[in-house]
Structure 1
Amino acid sequence: MAKTQLEVLNALDLAKTQWYHFTAIIIAGMGFFTDAYDLFCISTVTKLLGRIYYFEDGKKPGSLPPNVSAAVNGVALCGTLAGQLFFGWLGDKMGRKKVYGMTLMLMVICSIASGLSFGHTAKSVMTTLCFFRFWLGFGIGGDYPLSATIMSEYANKRTRGAFIAAVFAMQGFGILAGGAVSIIVSAGFKSHFKAPAYQDDPKGSTVDEADFVWRLILMFGAVPAAMTYYWRMKMPETARYTALVERNAKQAAADMSRVMQVDIEEDRQKIDEIATREPSFGLFSAQFAKRHGLHLLGTTSTWLLLDVAYYSQNLFQKDIFTAIGWIPAGKKMNAIEEVYRIAKAQTLIALCSTVPGYWFTVFFIDRIGRFTIQLMGFFFMTVFMFALAIPYNHWRGTKCGDDYCDGNHIAFVVLYSFTFFFANFGPNATTFIVPAEVFPARLRSTCHGISAAAGKAGAIVGAFGFLYAAQSTHQSEVDHGYHKGIGVKNSLILLGVTNAMGFLFTFLVPETNGKSLEELSGENEEDEGTELPPSVSTTRTAPA
């Protein structure tokens, strides 16, 4: 038998869309804007770092050694994984609001510090950069469980999916901003400091001022985070945490009465009833495994598999586009021109496919449900990845001269863009949303952090694994016009298989559409022995 819902929580579930919903989306979303900017802007400057700090034969601008490139691209992901676990746990222990400010300040400080990375040698500069980017990732990691949990606990049940998806959609604008800032900064330096092309003067093709380019791009990530700090601190604690975890019905009613501008009773008697009758099982208990074990397996496995593919594609777009000849080989451009061309290509992909995919999810998720969107996304990601990989030599061509390549590069880029579209109108959004809905309030942030950390483990596999798999396609092959492409092709096939596995594991994920958080988590149940309601069983129900 279901218990009577607290009035304050019932008011949240049934509330009409109000200004406070949009305020919460903007405040939480700006954190995700910053997260995406900081994580992905590194891909626009990685090649520049190699040309500035590494030289071949003491005279030619070189590239980052594979181990250094892997560290620069992947260390923030390692920090993010650690931050998701730590701050997810802390969000359930201390409250969402108290921890929210910590993560933001860490992001501001470490964004600036990354741009100020110092040292007398290439190794010391890269070591300093990796150190600060690890702690930047640590702060970013905390934003995942906290933003998702706060938005889910503020939202009404009718449009909760769209609200959480809108927060996550700010990631698309962060990726877009990373490309736009890189274009603006590199264009500004390019117009003032004319460096010769690489083939004219290899060493002179990287001007001293190029060192400012990557630093400015990385430091800009502090701006949106700093702008959001005040408003985060003004947000009240979520009513669900205050009422269900802290057992403070009076404070929960007062906070939501002020936010929603309605009178809400404090429900002291019902809080006392919850305190005596609500199950209090822990994360590692048999009762949790019985109720939510398959849910946690589903959310962790699908997020892990999704991020293997998604982060591989995002972080190494520049290598794929160079390999197929869409971006000229480095020897044809000076250093700043190379940053400009890479950023322009990545911005085009984000504008045409990544950002629209996020907002398709916002529009449709409460209409067709999380499960359908996730299953569809994994399916089409698989289809398009194999469509890229199997006829890879056709898309890429077999030879390139100085001014031409004989492959069908436009078709490749179009198909490649579709994989991003269906990642974001698919599992990249839904894997973020479902863990914020299906677990109990006292474990919600922790379980979301665990799910997100599994995703970042997949991202680390993707970032390091793709880099080494692609090493068999050496840059000299591109420069001399002979495209074997074995590494990139095999990587694309592996990513296709990964997406297919994500499709299968999606069947472990419950449909959460149209239900209150307490129904989904089982917190409305009469006693510990009550079975999970049908809405969260592994059997699919039609979206409300």
Structure 2
Amino acid sequence: MAALPRHHHHHNPSMGEVPVPHGPETGDEHEHYPSRITNGDDTRAANTTDQEKAIFQYLTHPDDSYTPEGVYWADLPLRERFGFVNKVQNEEAMRELRAIGRMAKNDPLSPLAWYFRNAVLPGAGLGLEGYVLFSIGNLGPLFAATWPTCWGKNPTECSANWVASVTYLEVIGIMVGQLGVGVIGDWIGRRWGLIQDAAIMFVGLLMLTASWGLDLNGWVICYAWSLFFYGFGVGGEYPITATSSMENAVTAGKLSTRDDRLHRGRKVTMAFLMQGWGQLVNQALLIILLLILHHGSGDPPYGVTAIQWTYRLSFAFPAVGTLWLVYYRTYKMPHASRQLAAAKRKGNVTGYDTASLRLTCQHFGGRLLATAGGWFCNDVFFYGNKLFQGQFIAVISNNPSSVMVTWLWNLCNVLVSLAGYYLASLLIDNKMYGRKMMQQVGFLMCFIMFVVPAFKYDYYSHPAGIHAFQAMYFLSSFFNQFGPNSVTFLVAGEVFPTPVRASAHGFSACIGKAGALLASVLYNYIGTETKFYVVPWFGLAGMLITWIFLPDTTGLDLKEQERRWNYIRAGRGDEYRGIAIHPTHLSLWERMRGVGKNYDPELDLKQKIEDMREEWVDKERIRRQREVSGGAGHNRDDPDGLFGGEDDELNDDHFSDEVHHYFKRTTSAEKVSNGSSKGSGKHKNAPLLDGGAGDGDGVMNEKAA
């Protein structure tokens, strides 16, 4: 088998197929378990020469994070830091604008096609989640106006408990899905979770479309359980979509770590904001269907037949798109589990990584509190906002009895929320603002927008202050999206290691939905004014939890975090010296516990070179084995390619020729043959000299073995 070609240039898919020269901006480090730095046998680890620094600079000091002098951006004085970050952001923005211009010149529709591939498709499941989840709030007023004996304030034909369970069962189904599919995503694989969720949502939509009963109460029961089933699939979308979207940024052959550092937040948030588009499409479609089926009017009284067709068609249309999503995830996403499979292979794990789960709780317990607690506080606001919108509209509307008026006001609120989603995606990767600040500001603004009317409710609920009340309500929707609702979805996955990322995200999302459940139950027992006294304090609590326990991973690529995790997994967490424990990237709680005390850029440079050597040795050993066997080999965790496709990890090779030749000259032949850093015998320190033990491409030949 011929040696795989080296990469002298790469394509940068962040804005189409734009060739980017090989160099500092495309350096890519890979997952690996570190080699021990010693003061004895391996003198290379003890001293880093100027030649080594020059050879490895594009990998160890990428120009989007380090100054030409080798200073990390977070170590710069504030003024210089601002200038450096602003320069990098502006250059990247201009590069992307030029790429868009070239794409549009070749094909005017290609930027839209890029957006569809990179935002709409990854977020399709969450778009369906937003569509169906919030249809409950949209359909509720319509059902109450059509069947007051069932959905009214004093139902006589239906059980009040079953009517209330429509909301409760869906939220509980989502919580079960978030926990269950989070574990499945880490156990079986991301791809299986993606396919499973789409299939469950498709069947759930069919159930919702066809729900029926011998009487109205029977129909309500069928409707509630259909939402529970659908909710399981929706819940699974949270951990699976988040983990697969962010891991796609560092999966073999996809994007460089530069894109991961500069655009990971945007990539995940663009998928998440499809939730807002789902809400918008649902509301718009309901308005159109009601106007068509109710003879062009949205005002009561409503005919039973027209309402039956309206709500059933509103579920039937997305079922078609969900069926296509099942097909796409089954046949067009073969490598969704690749990074997880690589992490398991290096950890010698074949099932669920319980050891990593234990270590995560031990080392990242504060982060788990931040992601779960922050999400809980946010969902009290987020879903409380949706559940409360009926009372809000009743206060500001001249005709609150019309369902159409309620829907039009809600449409305005969704548009405001979408603006928040998009602004979050634009600023979430800015190092001077970033995730943590965005979440704190969002929580603070939500607190203010609810606490102000709480203490002057009579003024703001009457004509004199109604416009200010309206502005504050819309601003709370905006800052909820441009803040905790977007950030919690992102950080609940990226601050945890790959082996348990989906589980941690699912757990955090599940605790978050407990906040939604609390809001839906609590709001049934307290009045409108009391809600304003209760809700704001969750915003203040969320801000404090974020400030104390949430680390800021803005600008820190996932592979560096995985590098630190490899040290922890190997029982050597105190030996890690890199930027993943830079004070900027740690929470206040972690800094108080002394986690960042070992940060040392000079020592880390020595370690990083040796870590890359181990990775290079591993790849050369695999390449050697494949040459001998004459085949490409398979992933031993998935020999049939059912969950992750063919194992072509060797194609993800971003080492320059200089790096390859350096490792050939300075690595013992026995180490490459055995894949061990503990060589023995006379070959222990025998270098792989050019033209000797290695061939011209840096691949071991049989004689060297």
TM-score interval, normalised by the smaller of the two chains: 0.7 to 0.9
Q: Which amino acid aligns with 1:177?
A: V
Which residue matches 1:6? Answer: 30
Please list the CA deviations of residues 61-118 of structure 1 after superposition, one character each: whole Å capped at 9, or x if unmatched. 9998763443222321110000000000000111101121110111111122112211
Secondary structure at the residue paired with 1:159? Answer: helix
Which residue matches 1:360? Answer: 423
Which of the numbers 466, 473, 485 marks the counterpart of 1:428?
Answer: 485
Please list the CA deviations of residues 174-215 of structure 1 after superposition, one character each: whole Å capped at 9, or x if unmatched. 1111110111111112226x79855xxxxxx54442222222
Q: Does 1:28 align with 2:122?
A: yes
Aligned residues: 464
Secondary structure at the residue paired with 1:316? Answer: helix
Offset, 1:422: 0.4
Q: Does 1:525 align with 2:525?
A: no
Which residue matches 2:273? Answer: 169
Which residue matches 1:441? Answer: 498
Q: Does 1:215 align with 2:312?
A: yes
* Contact 1:113–1:219 (8 Å) recurs in 2: no
Q: 1:196 to 1:344 in 2, by over 3 A?
A: closer
- Stretch deviating more after TM superposition (107-116 or 75-84): 107-116
Which residue matches 1:98? Answer: 192
Secondary structure at the residue paired with 2:502? Answer: helix
Partners of 1:141 and 1:124 in 2: CA distance: 26
Please list the CA deviations of residues 10-31 of structure 1 after superposition, one character each: whole Å capped at 9, or x if unmatched. 99x9999899896243322111
**Superposition pairs of residues 45-124 of structure 1, within 5 angstroms:** 45-55=139-149, 67-124=161-218
Q: Does 1:41 align with 2:82?
A: no
**Percent identity at matched positions?**
26
Secondary structure at the residue paired with 2:556? Answer: coil
Which residue matches 2:601? Answer: none
Q: 1:159 to 1:144 in 2, by over 3 A?
A: same
Secondary structure at the residue paired with 1:119? Answer: coil
Partners of 1:42 and 1:283 in 2: CA distance: 39
Please list the CA deviations of residues 351-407 of structure 1 after superposition, one character each: whole Å capped at 9, or x if unmatched. 1x100000111000100211010001001010111123222211222xxxxxxxx45
* Contact 1:50–1:62 (8 Å) recurs in 2: no
Which residue matches 1:225? Answer: 322
**Superposition pairs of residues 121-132 of structure 1, within 5 angstroms:** 121-132=215-226
Which residue matches 1:187? Answer: 291
* Contact 2:177–2:235 (8 Å) recurs in 1: yes
Which residue matches 1:453? Answer: 510
* Contact 1:327–1:342 (8 Å) recurs in 2: no
Q: Which amino acid aligns with 2:276?
A: G
* Contact 2:299–2:403 (8 Å) recurs in 1: no
Which residue matches 1:373? Answer: 438
Partners of 2:480 and 2:158 in 1: CA distance: 29
Partners of 2:471 and 2:448 in 1: CA distance: 14
Secondary structure at the residue paired with 2:428? Answer: helix
* Contact 1:382–1:499 (8 Å) recurs in 2: yes
Partners of 1:317 and 1:72 in 2: CA distance: 18
Secondary structure at the residue paired with 2:536? Answer: helix
* Contact 1:512–1:520 (8 Å) recurs in 2: no
Partners of 2:238 and 2:207 in 1: CA distance: 22
Offset, 1:7: 7.6
Partners of 2:299 and 2:304 in 1: CA distance: 9
Offset, 1:492: 1.9
Which residue matches 1:348? Answer: 412
Partners of 2:217 and 2:398 in 1: CA distance: 28
Q: Which amino acid aligns with 1:343?
A: W
Q: Which amino acid aligns with 2:397?
A: W
**Superposition pairs of residues 298-377 of structure 1, within 5 angstroms:** 298-322=370-394, 324-326=395-397, 328-330=399-401, 338-351=402-415, 353-367=416-430, 368-377=433-442
Structure 2 length-normalised TM: 0.61
Which residue matches 1:479? Answer: none
| Structure with higher RCO (Cα < 8 A, 6+ apart) | 1
Which residue matches 1:240? Answer: 339
* Contact 2:142–2:403 (8 Å) recurs in 1: yes
Partners of 1:189 and 1:411 in 2: CA distance: 36
Please list the CA deviations of residues 31-67 of structure 1 after superposition, one character each: whole Å capped at 9, or x if unmatched. 11111001001111112223333439x9x99998763
Offset, 1:230: 2.3
Offset, 1:325: 4.2
Q: 1:226 to 1:319 in 2, by over 3 A?
A: farther
* Contact 2:149–2:155 (8 Å) recurs in 1: yes
**Superposition pairs of residues 136-175 of structure 1, within 5 angstroms:** 136-155=230-249, 156-175=260-279
* Contact 2:130–2:275 (8 Å) recurs in 1: yes
Which of the numbers 533, 537, 541 marks the counterpart of 2:586?
Answer: 537
Partners of 1:391 and 1:225 in 2: CA distance: 46
Which of the numbers 413, 419, 423 marks the counterpart of 2:476?
Answer: 419
Which of the numbers 350, 360, 370 marks the counterpart of 1:288?
Answer: 360
Partners of 1:327 and 1:223 in 2: CA distance: 38
Which residue matches 1:484? Answer: none
Please list the CA deviations of residues 123-155 of structure 1 after superposition, one character each: whole Å capped at 9, or x if unmatched. 111000000000111000011000000011012
Q: 1:197 to 1:53 in 2, by over 3 A?
A: closer
Please list the CA deviations of residues 282-315 of structure 1 after superposition, one character each: whole Å capped at 9, or x if unmatched. 3653x33331111111100000110011101113
Contiguous gaps of at least 5 residues in structure 2: 1-27, 34-57, 65-91, 100-112, 250-259, 592-705
Q: 1:299 to 1:166 in 2, by over 3 A?
A: same
Offset, 1:281: 6.1
Q: Which amino acid aligns with 1:377?
A: G
Please list the CA deviations of residues 321-377 of structure 1 after superposition, one character each: whole Å capped at 9, or x if unmatched. 12x1416243xxxxxxx33222211111111x1000001110001002110100010
Offset, 1:275: 4.6
**Radius of gyration: which is bigger?**
2
Q: Which amino acid aligns with 2:571?
A: E
* Contact 1:51–1:61 (8 Å) recurs in 2: no
Please list the CA deviations of residues 241-297 of structure 1 after superposition, one character each: whole Å capped at 9, or x if unmatched. 12112x2xxxxxxxxxxxxxxxxxxxxxxx5xx659xxx763653x33331111111
Contiguous gaps of at least 5 residues in structure 1: 199-204, 248-270, 331-337, 398-405, 470-486
Q: 1:64 to 1:460 in 2, by over 3 A?
A: farther
Q: Which amino acid aligns with 2:476?
A: T
Secondary structure at the residue paired with 1:366? Answer: coil
